[in-house]
Amino acid sequence: MKRLGVLTGGGDCPGLNPVIRGVVRKAVLEGYEVLGIKNGWKGIIEADMAPLDLRSVSGILPKGGTILGTSRTNPYKKEGGVQKVKDNIKKFEIDALIAIGGEDTLGVANRLVKEGVKVVGVPKTIDNDLNETDYTFGFDTAVNIVTDCIDRLHTTAESHNRIMVVEVMGRHAGWIAVHGGIAGGADVILIPEIPIDIEEVCGIIKKRHAQGKNFSIVVVAEGAKFDEDDEVLQSEKLDEFGHVRLGGIGQTLGEMIEKKTGFETRVTVLGHIQRGGSPTAFDRVLGTRFGVKAVELVKQGKFGYMVSLKGNKIEAVSIEKAVGTLKTVDMDLYEIAKVFFS
């Protein structure tokens, strides 16, 4: 009997458990054993694994997060980490790995494939910024959460005649901000792809007030900046993939808006609320389809490939192409959003 290992790396998001469930149910049907690897790449370095069977995945479909745990561990940043990965794959007789994650987790997968490790990828990121797939699971849930929060902020903003600045996730791509902003009826949407023009933002808000609209909702992605080299950081400390911790653009923007317009401004940072809770129906279905297809790719020996949503079909694409460049916001979509900036 062949044995598969499955891991979830990077930030958690709703939809991970449906993928795990899809992998296990399809694998059992095909006659594979499955080992659940705890806490991403860290688990395979430390040999922290446990068998997964039908009982293990029973009831996990509606649960957020991941039953396997996750981390931002990079084997290439750990002394002897890559060799430990290879050694434990051999020790535990793992015939293939299914790595579920975003650009960092799959970036490691891509490097391991080039060193002879058999890996199939599953794309996961609420930012929806992974190339070669129309959507990643977790994104739809995050957008629904953002939309609900904006809806709630509308009522309090209108009651107090305030400007509400809503900071959402989006390190290098503003997909959540654009989709959530359009769906929630935001008056201004600011994304990492386009530098913030504070005079333009304040001009829109002043124009609304002149028209008798005494409140405004401004949605800003955490990675938005005033110029190309001006990220607002919580910390300059780098993680194992070289990322700083973003955050604070909402507060900076709110203070500038209040100073320049004279209108009372409040800031709400949604943060990890966007990652939590039960996945939407779309993410449950997409995650399930991804998990089943990943096992099919293993069976076909298509290592170095990632499952992908193209239109309404699940296809196989190169992991290397998927992690080569980030997928940034479609400017045609952003132009649609700008129609309502008034």
The partner residues of 8 in beta bridges, in order of sequence, read 100
How does strand 216-221 pair with strand 305-310? unpaired
How does strand 96-101 pair with strand 233-235? unpaired
The answer to whether residue 127 is catalytic is yes
Question: How many angstroms separate the CA atoms of 12 and 140, rounded?
Answer: 14
HSE-up of residue 85 (Cα within 13 Å, Cβ side): 28
Please, which residues have CB within 8 angstroms of residue 116's CB and are 6 or more apart in sequence? none
Tracing tokens 């955050």 back to the chain, one arrives at 247
The partner residues of 252 in beta bridges, in order of sequence, read none
Question: How many angstroms separate the CA atoms of 48 and 139, rounded?
Answer: 29
Question: Please, what is the Cα angle at 203 between 201 and 207, to 5 degrees?
Answer: 125
Question: How many angstroms separate the CA atoms of 62 and 287, rounded?
Answer: 11
Catalytic residue among 127, 129, 187, 283: 127
Question: How many angstroms separate the CA atoms of 61 and 64, rounded?
Answer: 8
Query: E strands within the chain?
Result: 3-8, 33-37, 49-52, 96-101, 119-123, 163-168, 188-190, 216-221, 233-235, 245-246, 265-269, 305-310, 313-318
**What residues are annotated to the active site?**
127
